[in-house]
Structure 1
């Protein structure tokens, strides 16, 4: 089985990266953070280590001062086929598959693109306007809803939802009362893993750049063994996760997807923490991108069942002799 990207797939990936560089570059990223009340002195970024806290002001959407969705950017994504990528051509979509969706979601994760990307993508074909970016869709995922206040359509029962303080200043969250969980969507888990892969690749890149540029005792810090080992570990975890995510996109096997999700979550969260270590005190400052990558990675770990559900799927497959 071949997992090497085709020429068209590479062009798709590069095209999405160029689109995001034009429409959501680093300046736009920080503009969105500051506009959403995330600048020092006006943010309330409390929460636990899982990335969410108690009821507060961080995720109130249209009802409060949380981040706002850029509708122009959302429509540009729709025009580029981001949401309709897997929709059949006969239904007005692009007609591609999971491998191509993984590539564009990886780029979205790398750029820290805000918004309910996953929910809107999965709603294409079922919710009018979702495929073109004219309709913003939120979805109840367990007990959490991302971007509820900015959504035009909510899939699932969000009655009684309460806003949470989100650790990620660009992902407003609401919590809904605990209900019987619905069927797990392996595609949602895989595309979340793709976003985590994008974060893992980006923080690896940031760490390597800093290790080459920052000097101590007359030498780049990357020349010191401790820093080199951190960077090497980040690269190994990223490329291992990449192989697993790309393979799962080809097989679409739930067990493969569970393994890919576990590896991608680890590569993103541990990679961002190691990137902070490479940056030292500079990495903990508000102006650094690294902490935004770590916070987004933490929030994503709570989507679609998270680590525990993936571990249970793998354990069941091993017990049945299928893995």
Structure 2
């Protein structure tokens, strides 16, 4: 079967890119990590105006969702987007533009941005509960503000599809972050010179970049297939492949950029830590590989 994005989907991705490219998302992410949520909330309201939070509630498909989340990952947009835009619809809860934090042990043990969330939900084996934010924790990605959950009242039944939505959206973010890392590496390789030549002209660098391109391009159709089927096996295949591809793009980015890639001021650093955190978020690689090859 041949699958390609529709004109409407590519136009939607382009509209998101146009908005996010001028919004200084990197600065908003750094501010979010320092608990200055103002710039990030401006992004939140702007993307809500573009229909991102209500995408599934307004008739959009999961393919539309992963197209959008790939752009969020590319631009390192801060905030609990997976919880609000991907998971709440699976729980039949309308976002209404609200920030949401969803906990789903053991794969999602902590509440993302739970201290400022308007909706806080915990999904366990015995049903859907509210929760309150407890002790604040640190993440390898400082932009991910995590809190221990304190379970509250039971308000509904367990919804298995919620996990698939969360894992799928996270996979799309990984793919987007990996694509940014690749694009930045290609651009830098064309500018940086050693021994009088652009480093991108050296065969070793070409091979590194080619391997990253291949991994990302092989992961993308798995993501689309999972969005069409939402089967556990397909979602896990997409999450595992996207995580592996993004990790490879991250390593390649560090090798190509050298020491500058470690600096806090460079956009590379934001994506490196984000990839590292998201690889284990909504199910570890071992868990997802186990669902593909039980």
Q: TM-score, normalised by structure 2?
A: 0.86
Give the superposition deviation at 1:31: 4.8
2:61 is aligned with 1:97:
yes
Change in CA separation of 1:250 and 1:35 when aligned onto 2, cut-off 3 Å:
closer
Distance 2:265 2:253 in 1: 15
Match of 2:88 in 1: 123
Match of 1:266 in 2: 244
The secondary structure found in structure 1 opposite 2:136 is strand
Distance 1:302 1:161 in 2: 22
Give the superposition deviation at 1:158: 3.7
Give the superposition deviation at 1:290: 1.1
Match of 2:138 in 1: 165
For 1:34-73, what aligned pairs fall within 5 Å after superposition? Answer: 34=31, 36-37=33-34, 66-68=35-37, 70-73=40-43
Change in CA separation of 1:31 and 1:186 when aligned onto 2, cut-off 3 Å:
closer
Match of 2:148 among 148, 155, 175: 175
Change in CA separation of 1:105 and 1:224 when aligned onto 2, cut-off 3 Å:
same
Match of 1:145 among 111, 114, 129: 111
Distance 1:159 1:259 in 2: 33
Q: Does structure 1 conserve the Cα–Cα contact (< 8 Å) formed by 2:240 and 2:288?
A: yes
For 1:281-296, what aligned pairs fall within 5 Å after superposition? Answer: 281-296=259-274
The secondary structure found in structure 1 opposite 2:284 is helix
Change in CA separation of 1:105 and 1:286 when aligned onto 2, cut-off 3 Å:
same
Runs of 4+ off more than 6 Å: none
For 1:189-268, what aligned pairs fall within 5 Å after superposition? Answer: 189-268=167-246
Q: Which moved more, 1:254-263 or 1:162-171?
A: 162-171
Give the superposition deviation at 1:82: 0.4
Change in CA separation of 1:152 and 1:160 when aligned onto 2, cut-off 3 Å:
closer
Match of 2:3 in 1: 3
Whichever structure has more strand as a proportion of its residues is 2
Distance 1:219 1:252 in 2: 48
Q: Which moved more, 1:188-197 or 1:163-172?
A: 163-172
The secondary structure found in structure 2 opposite 1:169 is coil
Structure 2: which 5+ residue stretches go unaligned? 123-129, 152-157
Change in CA separation of 1:6 and 1:224 when aligned onto 2, cut-off 3 Å:
same
Q: Does structure 2 conserve the Cα–Cα contact (< 8 Å) formed by 1:268 and 1:294?
A: no
- RMSD of aligned alpha carbons: 2.2
Give the superposition deviation at 1:151: 0.7
Match of 2:74 in 1: 110
**1:258-285 C-alpha deviation (Å, 9 max, x unpaired):** 1111000111122112101110111112
Distance 1:288 1:16 in 2: 22
Structure 1: which 5+ residue stretches go unaligned? 38-65, 88-92, 317-323
Change in CA separation of 1:140 and 1:111 when aligned onto 2, cut-off 3 Å:
same
Distance 1:126 1:67 in 2: 31
Distance 2:222 2:117 in 1: 32
Give the superposition deviation at 1:182: 7.9
Give the superposition deviation at 1:227: 1.3
Q: Which moved more, 1:301-310 or 1:254-263?
A: 301-310
Distance 1:34 1:136 in 2: 17
